[in-house]
Structure 1
Amino acid sequence: ITSKTVLLIKNSTTENSNDNGLARTPPMGWMAWERFRCDTDCKDDPQNCISEALFRDMADRLAEDGWRELGYEYVIIDDCWMSKARDPEGRLQPDPDRFPSGIRRLADYVHSRGLKLGIYADMGRYTCMGFPGTTLDRIRTDAQTFADWGVDYLKFDGCNSNALEQLLGYPLMSKALNATGRPMVFSCSWPVYVGSLPPEVNYTLLGEICHLWRNYYDIQDSWDSLQFILDWFFTHQDFIQPAAGPGRWNDPDMLIIGNFGLSLDQSRAQMALWSIMAAPLIMSTDLRQLDNAARAVLQNKVAININQDPLGVQGRRLLQEKSKIEVYWRPLVDSCSAVVFLSRRSDMPYIYHTSLSKLGFDKGSYQV
């Protein structure tokens, strides 16, 4: 293997399933957090601060640079968008200096570009970065506020809340969002706050109330961080893999391709593995400055088609060789498969021999 990854497919399909609900395939889009964090200094860093200008810029890029047509449709605000206080009626409100037009106008702009707007809130007294949180008595108010603004996606974090508040709050927010009558994808951070695995996490319940959920810690801009997440997901694949399917996805966190921590081969590895995992493809990079190599990885149609396969089965790790070559597999529609060979070696390219029988395939004729 001369690269970190190789994809094999047979009769790959580009068709999506009939979408009678939300997130029938893993959501795709862009989110602010990993790249832009909680930069609120719009005086000295206007290009990178969390502001309506940043999200308009990213909406423009998604609409004009070929992303929207590939399925990248959500522009998602993360933490630090809020004012430090609620309005006189007890509703969340955006920081007036950084979002002078308000979220409703920003949503209108995003929608005018053929895209959808996501927003962030936190189950607890405060968000992770100290902005107003959503306590149990505020859940219905906040859900209705987001609906009134035209929001299409909510990431609901869990900092500064306890296990009981989470047990009550996440299902309550799901009901409150549905009660607004506005379709909103619901992304839950619940599992990571209570240990990520059964019996502490009821993945059947999660699949009933959330469209996707964060299982593990935040991704950082490094190959080491990516590998830690990968190892956790596949070490525990017997517990979490069956929970995924159309409308309910395990979320290993954002794509960090195009930032500073990954080589080109490592970037290809993340794209291939996130596709095998049926993971949400949520980019967090500066689309205004993306180089052509990173763009080619993120816009790879084969990887996207595998990720968006309508069968919706999350892939599994088949083999971990002593040579530090690993093999991952995902079944697709029309009797197709996707296979990734991942090298964890750091020395040099490695020649790896395999066979149909070793990969679990029957004898026969295959298109590769």
Structure 2
Amino acid sequence: FFRTPSTAMATALALLGTLAALIDGAVATPGLGRTPPMGWMSWQVFRCQVDCSQTPNACINERLYMQMTDRMAEDGYVQAGYNTISIDDCWEQSSRDSQGRLQPNATRFPSGMAALGKYMHAKGVKFGIYSDEGTKTCGGYPGSLGFETVDAQSFAAWGVDYFKLDGCWNNQAGYAVGYPRMGQALNASGRAIFYSCSWPAYLGDDETAKPFSKMVDAGCNSWRNWADIQPTWASLLSIIDHWGDYSAVLQKTAGPGHWHDPDMLLIGVPGITMAEQEAQMALWSVVAAPLVMGNDLRAIPSESKRLLLNREVIAVDQDPLGRMGGRVSPKGEHEVWKRDLAGCAVAVALLNKGAEDAHVVLPLKEATGLAEAHARDLIKQQDLGPIKGMPQFLVKSHGVVFLRLTPNGGRCQY
């Protein structure tokens, strides 16, 4: 049965209110998104499930987000850098109030969004929310088109820290006006809110034709580029191939404050093997992608959890140099992906897209510029010692070997 959590929330807020007040008092500051965001988002697993009587533990309601906040705070995710819980579509009432403001569904969010945000803040978690730059959201709820200012003011009043703006029920001409208008409204709201735009995901496949510089000007801190990820190897591989094909193009506009987003992490989601999960975690880190989990944190396998909490892999994604990497070998069954890191180090992912385990060759000098280096396996967290020439590594089917290479002598190759 569906249990309204208002009493539990009120008790928790009374105990945690002091810390909430400290975090909730934040004001707008420059420098959002200096490294890619990290957190959790509900869409991949929970979609638009609003029938809480039938699925009380998998329903878009405040209880779900409180439970995920608890898991983030208590299971080591916040300490590892995953600091944002994002509500996706289907949280709203079916219409705005008499003053034109968005309202949360009163049955599923009886305590209101400000209270939910305070609950998250009290646990050291940032509060993320969703809307759409169209007449409706993708799930059919009221969109923000024409209401950008009032919605930005509502989000600021609720203590929102992260905002995803989708692009259903609009068109290319409308995106070019609406996304900058929302960016201006967020900047004027008085609160620092990370702005995640879905603008380029609605502009087709050709990344060379997308106006990324205008997205930067619009204030977008990250943007979804392409197709939604699904919990299959075929979907994951299609995104990997797309990012590889357009690596050189995407690298030109990625950097601190504005990141390309290949969509949520499938780590811990049924249907994806452990090798495939390792491949996604490594390649997302190479391309400096947001690390936004799309799993159920209440029921995550221990091996997947260890991967998500691997500080050495996370450090590649969050590297302060802020330089996006990409594929540096020809497209094929075996590939080499590389990212330059601060301190003259290099991250290399050796990818095996084939159906069988295989040895993958790393042409060290050609791929990285290094004649020799000290290698560390980041997933296994093991030192491999010095390498040079054309070393080979055994890579699982659909998996990676993910290396951090430190040049002997410490001389940068970039």
> What is the TM-score with the length of structure 1 in the denominator?
0.91
Q: Once the 2 structures are TM-superposed, how far is the Cα of residue 328 of structure 1 from its aligned partner?
A: 0.1
Tell me by how many angstroms 1:242 deviates.
1.3
Q: Quote how far apart the aligned CAs of 1:163 are.
A: 1.9
Q: 1:43 aligns with which of 50, 53, 57?
A: 53
Residue 276 (str. 1) matches residue 286 (str. 2) = yes
* Structure 1 position 339 matched with structure 2 position 348: yes
Deviation readout 1:271-318 (Å, 9 max, x if unpaired): 011111100000011100111011011111111000000111111101
- Paired position in structure 2 for 1:148: 157
Give the C-alpha shift of residue 207 in structure 1.
Answer: 2.0
Distance 2:186 2:30 in 1: 18
Q: Count residues in correspondence.
A: 347
| Residue 158 of structure 2 corresponds to residue 163 of structure 1 | no
Q: How far apart, CA to CA, are the structure 1 residues paired with 2:300 and 2:207?
A: 40
Q: 1:92 aligns with which of 84, 98, 102?
A: 102
1:68-116 deviation line (CA, Å, top 9, x unaligned): 0011000000000001011111100011000000100000000000110
Separation of aligned partners in 2, 1:154 and 1:283: 16
Aligned to 2:187: 178
| Larger gyration radius, structure 1 or structure 2 | 2
1:314 equivalent in alignment to 2:314? no
Q: Distance in 2 between matches of 1:363 and 1:233?
A: 27
Residue number in structure 2 paired with 1:24: 34
SS across alignment from 1:288: helix
Cα distance, 1:261 vs structure 2: 1.7
1:56 — aligned with what? 66
* CA deviations over 1:314-351 (Å, ceiling 9, x no partner): 111011365x11100000001010000000111x2212
Q: Establish whether residue 362 from structure 1 lines up as the match of residue 362 from structure 2.
A: no
Structure 1 distance, partners of 2:104, 2:79, is 30
- Residues 336 and 362, structure 2, Cα contact 8 Å, conserved in 1: no
Structure 2 gaps, min length 5: 1-28, 377-414
Asked whether the 8 Å contact 1:197–1:239 carries over to 2, the reply is no
Q: Secondary structure at the match of 1:329?
A: strand
> Are 2:212 and 1:203 equivalent residues in the alignment?
yes
**Distance in 1, Cα, partners of 2:83 & 2:244:** 28
Alignment match, 2:197? 188
CA drift of 1:166 comes to 1.1
Q: Determine helix, strand or coil for the equivalent of 1:250.
A: strand
Name the amino acid aligned to 1:267.
Q
Contact preservation (8 Å) 2:133, 2:167: yes
One-letter identity of the residue aligned with 2:340: P
Residues 150-179 of structure 1, C-alpha deviation per residue, up to 9 Å, x if partnerless? 101110001001222211100010010000
- Indicate conservation of the 8 Å contact 1:191/1:197, yes or no: no
Q: Are residues 327 and 173 of structure 1, via their aligned partners in 2, closer, same or farther at CA, if it must alter by over 3 Å? A: same
* Counterpart residue type for residue 264 of structure 2: M
| Cα-Cα RMSD | 1.4
1:352 equivalent among 348, 360, 363: 360
2:318 and 2:286 mapped to 1: Cα distance? 10
Could you say what secondary structure the match of 2:348 adopts?
A: strand
Letter in 2 for 1:125: T
Q: Which amino acid aligns with 1:353?
A: V
Residues in 2 aligned to 1:354 and 1:162: alpha-carbon distance in whole angstroms: 44
Q: Distance in 2 between matches of 1:300 and 1:365?
A: 23
Identity %, equivalent residues: 44
Match in the other structure for 1:139 = 148
2:249 to 239, 259, 264: 239
Give the Cα–Cα distance (whole angstroms) in 2 for the partners of residues 236 and 199 of structure 1: 8
- Match of 1:194, as an amino acid? L
Is 1:105–2:96 an aligned residue pair? no
Output the CA distance in 2 between the equivalents of 1:352 and 1:166. 43
Q: Is 1:158–1:193's contact at 8 Å kept on the other side of the alignment?
A: yes
The answer (yes or no) to whether the contact 1:154–1:184 under 8 Å persists in 2 is: yes
Q: Secondary structure at the match of 2:343?
A: coil
What is the distance in 1 between the residues matched to 2:294 and 2:87? 11
Q: Is the 8 A contact 1:126 1:132 kept in 2?
A: yes
Task: Tell me whether 1:330 sits opposite 2:349 in the alignment.
Answer: no
What's the offset of the Cα at 1:20? 5.5
Q: 1:200 to 1:321 in 2, by over 3 A?
A: closer
What is the alpha-carbon distance in structure 1 between the residues aligned to residue 145 and residue 362 of structure 2? 54
| Cα separation, 2, equivalents of 1:301 and 1:40 | 36
Query: 1:92 is matched by which residue type in structure 2?
Result: L
The Cα shift of 1:361 comes to 2.2
TM-score where L is the length of structure 2: 0.81
What residue number does 2:315 align with?
305
